[in-house]
Amino acid sequence: MSIRVGIVGISGFGGGEALRLVAGHPSFELVYAAGEGSAGSRLGERFPGLPARLADLVIRKWDPAGLPPLDLLFASLPTGASAAALAAVPESVKIVDLGGDHRDAAGWAYGLADIWPERIQGQRRVANPGCFPAAVLTALAPLLAGGLVEPGNIIIDAKTGISGAGRGGADSRFGFAESNENLVPYGLLQHVHMPEMARAIARLSGGSAAGLVFTPHLVPMTRGLLATIYCRGGAGTEECLAAARRFYAGRAFIRVTERPPQTKWAAGSNLAFVSYAADPQRGLVMALGAVDNLGKGAAGQAVQNANLICGLPETTGLEGMPAWP
């Protein structure tokens, strides 16, 4: 079965990672690529390592009215740039939106694929989670669903690689000189992923996430994301690990580990690693989640969601091992 695929925003980090995964996918045929600054150039000029069959595909200027016949469209556009344009895409074309415009939009399924796959299967419009929610919610879900932690007392300390900030332009604040040997907190108390995480925490627990605190940091590495999450609860470490193993039994991309996870473990993959440490005497539960921010945090989960809505095994095209070292 050949599924005709398009990618919008192909020159960005998320779109480029989607291209890498689509190029190796046994059921996806890339027939359309769109970008802004890269429009008019061949894919092979932007991505010299592409398979020869894709190298001559010309990147078009993004125009939803000018789409060729497609079955599936990946949209990797900045938050605020996709809502109006994607509304003009024919209903016959399935869409996975990697941006932030549709994560709480009517008619769009929230694509947290490892937690709610049944809510994604058969849908035509899926909003991919943000990279931070992908790591945080994957680690928290077993604890919240099992009532092991209080949803209203959660503190998240997360670190992401520079690619999580997007590709940017020539005046980007995230170049080598600015980022190397530096650690940068940002989005304090108002990060765009806060409402998304709060909604999911409330849905998983049935309670309020009003006390949620989230502090993200940029660290000087290209890709990878680690979230350390502090919760109130009386469970012990083994109880938390056991809850996660039950919750994710049979889920191909989740690894429950007794060791604290590392970002390198997930590099270049769609895997998510979760672990826990708890002190019942202090009422403290620590949850840890590690993902590749461009993999499970973006394009990997987008392809997983696409597999689900296209009726394919969700592991299709995603079974490669992480890159090491």
**Coil vs helix vs strand at 133:** helix
* Termini Cα distance of the chain: 35
Residue 126 pairs with which residues in a beta bridge? 96, 109
- Let me know if 231 is a catalytic residue: no
Query: In this structure, which amino acid lies at residue 231?
Result: C
The tens place of each residue's pLDDT in the chain, 325 residues long, gives 699 999 999 999 999 999 999 999 999 999 999 998 889 999 999 999 999 999 999 999 999 999 999 999 999 998 888 999 999 999 999 999 999 999 999 999 999 999 999 999 999 999 999 999 999 999 999 999 999 999 999 999 999 999 876 665 545 667 787 888 898 888 888 888 899 999 999 999 999 999 999 999 999 999 999 999 999 999 999 999 999 999 999 999 999 999 999 999 999 999 999 999 999 999 999 999 999 999 999 999 999 999 999 999 999 999 999 998 8
Q: Give the span between the Cα atoms of 224 and 161, in whole angstroms.
A: 5
**Coil vs helix vs strand at 108:** coil
Could you give phi then psi for residue 164, rounded to 5 degrees?
A: -65, -20
